[in-house]
Chain A
């Protein structure tokens, strides 16, 4: 079973760049889509974007100008960067596998990390 573990800072100041890394174990990173999803305190889930093992990325337009993702197959890691953070970026950040069924075309987030709370405060 694939296991995901994210790492990164828990506290940041406004205008800094958030960097998170997700390590994948128990399976291959060279397939499927690898996503970042966040959840502000007491609110619902927001999809940030995904990176495919080939390096192809798709971002949520709401964050597109500030977000970048990358993937390192040799380290079995993928990462997220969010520039110019504000208090509105305070959230629990999850990394997740978006499993894509090549036969049907359907996808779902079937494996999730435990989540990391990132707080942006001066």
Chain B
């Protein structure tokens, strides 16, 4: 199985901050990497697919980059509704696997 790791596991930030979350795969996955946002008690929401493609309806302050084993999710100008947990997921091979998540909370 491809193992996904994320850093940091949590971070505190203020509204307006630029936030960067890193995801690393245990083997190369090209750009088969998706990012999700999850709020407490809610289902995950797809933000970014294929490493850098913004899902329809997702604000442009979210962006993704990377290929191979190292990927980044950036939120440019954190908004109050962005305080949530973010996780990555590889779709390169089954079993599909998710990262453990990065919790973004209010400083």
A43 nearest CB neighbor, chain B only: B100
Minimum Cβ distance to chain A for residue B47 (Å): 10
Q: Which residues of A contact B44 (CB under 8 A)?
A: 45, 94, 109, 112
Can you list the 3 inter-chain pairs with the closest CB atoms, starting with the nearest?
A: A112-B43, A108-B49, A60-B95
- Given A44-B87, A45-B89, A94-B43, the answer on whether A110 and B49 have CB atoms closer than 8 Å is yes
Chain A window 33-63, contacts with chain B (Cβ cutoff 8 Å), 1 for yes, 0 for no: 0000000000011110100000000101110
B99 contacts the other chain (Cβ, under 8 Å)? Answer: yes
- B-side residues, CB < 8 A to A, are 1, 31-32, 34, 36, 42-46, 49-50, 55, 87, 89, 91, 94-101
- Given A109-B44, A110-B46, the answer on whether A44 and B98 have CB atoms closer than 8 Å is yes
5 contacting pairs across A/B (C-beta < 8 A): A44-B87, A44-B99, A45-B87, A47-B98, A115-B42
Q: How many A-B residue pairs have CB under 8 A?
A: 58
Using C-beta atoms within 8 Å of the partner chain, give the interface range for chain A: 20 to 34
Minimum Cβ distance to chain B for residue A57 (Å): 11
* Bound CA–CA A108/B34 (angstroms): 7
Q: Which residues of B contact A86 (CB under 8 A)?
A: none
Q: Are B43 and A108 in contact (CB under 8 A)?
A: no
Q: Are B95 and A47 in contact (CB under 8 A)?
A: yes
Q: Which residues of A contact B43 (CB under 8 A)?
A: 94, 96, 112-115
| Contacts beyond the supplied A108-B34, A115-B43: 4 A-B pairs with Cβ under 8 Å | A61-B95, A98-B91, A108-B50, A109-B36
Q: Are B55 and A110 in contact (CB under 8 A)?
A: yes
